[in-house]
Amino acid sequence: MNKKQKNNLYRIIISAVLLTGLHFVPVKGVLRFLLYLIPYFIIGYDVLRKAFKGIKNRQPMDESLLMCVATVGAMTLAIYRDLTGQTGDYVEAIAVMLFYQIGEWFQSVAVGRSRRNISELMDIRPDYANIETDGKIEQVDPDEVEPGIVIYVHPGEKIPIDGTVSAGTSTLDTAALTGESLPRNVTEGDEVISGCINLTSPLYIRTTREFGDSTVSKILDLVENASSRKSKSEDFITKFARVYTPAVVYSALALAILPPVFRMICGAAPYWGDFIYRALAFLVISCPCALVVSIPLSFFAGIGGASHAGVLIKGSNYMETLSEVDTVVFDKTGTLTRGSFEVDAVHHSPVDEAQLIEAVALAEAASTHPISLSLRRAYGKELDRSRVSDIEEIAGQGIRARVDGRDIAVGNTKLMSAVGADYIECPNDMGTVIHVALEGVYAGHIVISDTIKPHSAEAVKALKNLGIKRTIMLTGDASRIADSVAAELGLDEVHSELLPSDKVDRVDRLITERSGKGRLAFVGDGINDAPVLSRADIGIAMGAMGSDAAIEAADVVLMDDDPLKISRAIAIARKCLRIVKENIVFAIGIKLLCLLLSALGLAGMWLAVFADVGVMVLCVLNAIRALIIRK
């Protein structure tokens, strides 16, 4: 509890005690009124001040104003009754204010607590980095560490900055980032990301990024900014409140004036006091606080819970879209397959195998494509980059470059046609075929094969179980290999030999031809598919291996590249939206019921205020459920 919350708690207790005490003080008339004013001001001064400010600044009507009109009205009614010889009820107006404040207090404590819970869940922000100077370990601010510097991480500490292990072997706990409880072994040369906890032995890590660009900083930014992207449900509530409050105020006015006037016309007693009272109760009930508080809180909790499971959702609007997905489109390489190719065979090469691979690896020196990384790995030796020049990467086709002064083209059949090389098709269907041409003359092909990720088939099945209607794979690879992957995974459709721009067109077409309100999600690793990620209704990127561009362009990031997380993310989003809808229906339903009862004179202010606070407490508790994610 912070200081303000404590103060408010004292105000609540003091005014409650005073209110009870005054019940036993036998005074009458004006003195009685003045005595009751004391607890009223203690509990309500800030609400009165806020309402007054609102009127002065001509702001639209808000709940402080509703509370003031209702309680001041009830007080006036009580004075009038006192003056006309009946006994006025001052307690009611004060009690209304008191319960309103109890509600506000509960809400601020609950919201504060769940926010803290979420940041604890996201307890990945490192406070320092260790640097070894002259044999001594020194702690420095991670912001000050430049890329390329070696940092030291004790067992039990968080890795503060992304980098590669330069010495040591250890086990990492990645649960805070990926939600995966299985520890990961790392050794010299392995890439490690910040936010993981080093478990067993000390590690020296050469940083590859600045702290601000490291994984932890990015995640924290995303989660902190997520609430600024509003969902339709939140917009709905803001608009709703704008129409609703004036509507309620005018209805209350009508309720106070019309029935008595009507009765007077008919010659009956008007019962002014009765109807004014009903109108005031009506005002108290109408406060929309439960909705206003619980809906953003549900989204916030949902985003927090998802990030704990290794799924970063960049805003409540994406949470909403994700819950409506019925078509999932996948990229192949790096998304459903590992994107880590092995060289299986070299065919039709006029030079010897090792020479061809050397030339190819040199041509691939600058690419980040998984194929390129794999070919360089197959070569295995340090590359002499001075031998390569004029590198040109053609997305979805391959590479052209000059190696040792000779023109070389490495890529698929499209590229071979482009350079005019007479290629030979490879009859096997074991893997991706990379053709090579030297000075425009065909120089054979390298067959490389990729393995399907261990969870890909299960991931497709899990999506089907969630009721996803279509699963589609788009790839730039040859149709033979694409078809065999699609068959193995049980995908509904596959489209192959696409250029990156063809993928955008396909997704466009799928979006325009869809029927109903189902949304389309595209899942990719961002290597030349960032445009598709932004075009889809919702773009899901593989975070660990994915490029920075993908993480920027995507709306949802899967921290550990596991395709099984796609169905997880959808399930989490659906649960969150279900909670939001429950709260909307419940809160509005109870409100309408109470409004009706009060208009009929069946519910007084007491019931009104109980209903209001009760509904809010239940809605807030329900919202917090979104934070709980089943493993």
- Residue 463 touches which of Mg ion, ligand ADP, none (Cβ within 5-8 Å per kind): none
Three state DSSP letters for 547-587: CHHHHHHCCEEECCCCCHHHHHHHHHHHHHHHHHHHHHHHH
CB of 544 to Mg ion, least distance (A): 15
How many of the chain's residues bind ligand ADP (CB under 6 A)?
A: 23
Nearest residue (CB) to ligand ADP, 176 versus 459: 459
477 binds ligand ADP (CB under 6 A): yes
Ramachandran class of 398: left when φ > 0, alpha when ψ lies in -120 to 50, beta otherwise: left
Among 15, 298, 333, 412, binds Mg ion (CB under 5 A): 333
Nearest residue (CB) to ligand ADP, 174 versus 397: 397
Q: Are strands 398-403 and 432-438 parallel, antiparallel or unpaired?
A: unpaired
547 binds ligand ADP (CB under 6 A): no
- CA angle in degrees (0–180, nearest 5) for 468-463-461: 125
Interacting positions 235-294 with ligand ADP (CB under 6 A): none
64 binds Mg ion (CB under 5 A): no
Nearest residue (CB) to Mg ion, 98 versus 527: 527
- CA angle in degrees (0–180, nearest 5) for 237-243-248: 110
φ and ψ of 542, to 5 deg: -75, 120
462 binds ligand ADP (CB under 6 A): no
- Give the DSSP H/E element, type plus range, for residue 12: helix 3-22
343 binds ligand ADP (CB under 6 A): no
- Residue 396 touches which of Mg ion, ligand ADP, none (Cβ within 5-8 Å per kind): ligand ADP
CB of 557 to ligand ADP, least distance (A): 18
In Å, how far from its chain's centre is CA 243?
A: 29
Interacting positions 561-590 with ligand ADP (CB under 6 A): none
412 binds ligand ADP (CB under 6 A): yes
239-248: Cβ within 8 A, 24+ apart: 240/288, 240/291, 241/288, 241/291, 241/292, 242/60, 244/286, 244/288, 245/60, 245/61, 245/62, 245/63, 245/66, 245/286, 245/288, 246/60, 246/61, 248/66, 248/282, 248/283, 248/286, 248/595
Closest CA to 430 of 341, 368, 563, 330: 341
Residues designated catalytic: 331
Among 8, 475, 583, 598, binds ligand ADP (CB under 6 A): 475
Nearest residue (CB) to ligand ADP, 174 versus 432: 432
331 binds Mg ion (CB under 5 A): yes
Among 369, 400, 565, 591, binds ligand ADP (CB under 6 A): 369
- Residue 92 touches which of Mg ion, ligand ADP, none (Cβ within 5-8 Å per kind): none
Among 102, 371, 489, 510, binds ligand ADP (CB under 6 A): 371
Provide the 8-state DSSP code for 337: B
Footprint of Mg ion (CB under 5 A): 331, 333, 527
> Which residues are at the interface with ligand ADP (CB under 6 A)?
331-333, 364, 367, 369, 371-372, 396-399, 410-412, 432, 434, 475-477, 500, 527-528
